[in-house]
């Protein structure tokens, strides 16, 4: 498996590459969908171990706050495995970008996944022209999707916009240029649980 970084780039323990992280996410989602195994280690021992040794998540995931779109479940990840940023419509504002920088720069996750989803209420609201108290979200989504009216296409465009905005963030761009970060996108299908990874 290809490594995206050299040992000289960082003085941390060997970490999970973006490709390995993607394999782990794909495998986790397959297990989730097939319901082969829903057991994860949430034991007091694991809590204690993570407290004592610190977190080393293998990927960062930015997704919607929708209660059906829970990355730790969708990817069958345990405590300490995913750094998750959630905001309605998975729009990227200053706080989300800063959280992503923290995860990628300081926790050294090599994969940053933007996970959009179908039947997203925030995208629906944007398509329906809602404003008022939710305008800070819907206006961002409308900017992202332009004249598109198909909700699925809108989800994909909104996800790709978030990916682009993250890639333009200077710290993340620097990491990407070093080969230390891959920004990927995917869509979660709310009706069946399958995650489709977008072509890069």
Binding mask 62-81 for Zn ion (x = CB under 5 A): --x-x---------------
- Cβ 27 vs Cβ 58: under 8 Å: no
As measured in angstroms, the least distance from the Cβ of 89 to Zn ion is 6
Closest distance between Zn ion and the C-beta of residue 85, in Å? 14
Looking at beta carbons only, is 115 or 180 nearer to Zn ion?
115
Query: Is there binding between residue 126 and Zn ion (CB under 5 A)?
Result: no
Nearest Cα to 103, choosing from 5, 180, 6? 180
- Residue 108 region, left (φ>0) first, then alpha (ψ -120 to 50), else beta? left
Residues binding Zn ion: number (CB under 5 A): 4
181 lines the binding site for Zn ion (CB under 5 A)? no
- If the CB atoms of residues 80 and 89 are measured against Zn ion, the closer one turns out to be 89
Element containing residue 59 per DSSP (H, E): strand 59-63
CB 192 within 8 A of CB 33: yes
Contacts to Zn ion by CB under 5 A: 64, 66, 120, 122
């Amino acid at each position: 498996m290809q490594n995206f970084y050299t040992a000289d780039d960082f003085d941390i323990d060997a970490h999970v590459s973006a490709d390995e992280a993607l394999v782990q996410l794909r495998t986790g989602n397959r297990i989730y969908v097939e319901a082969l195994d829903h057991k994860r280690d949430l034991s007091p021992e694991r809590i204690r171990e993570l407290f004592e040794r610190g977190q080393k998540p293998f990927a960062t995931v930015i997704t919607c706050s929708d209660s059906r779109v829970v990355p730790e479940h969708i990817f069958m990840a345990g405590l300490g495995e995913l750094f998750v940023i959630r905001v309605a419509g998975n729009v990227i504002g200053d706080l989300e970008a800063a959280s992503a920088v923290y995860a990628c720069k300081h926790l050294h996750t090599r994969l940053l996944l933007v996970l959009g989803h179908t039947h997203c209420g925030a995208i629906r609201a944007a398509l329906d022209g809602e404003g008022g108290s939710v305008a800070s979200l819907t206006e961002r989504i409308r900017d992202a999707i332009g004249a598109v009216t198909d909700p699925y296409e809108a989800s994909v465009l909104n996800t790709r916009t978030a990916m682009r905005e993250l890639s333009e963030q200077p710290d993340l761009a620097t990491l990407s240029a070093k080969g230390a970060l891959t920004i990927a996108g995917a869509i979660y299908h709310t009706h069946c649980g399958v995650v489709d990874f977008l072509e890069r």
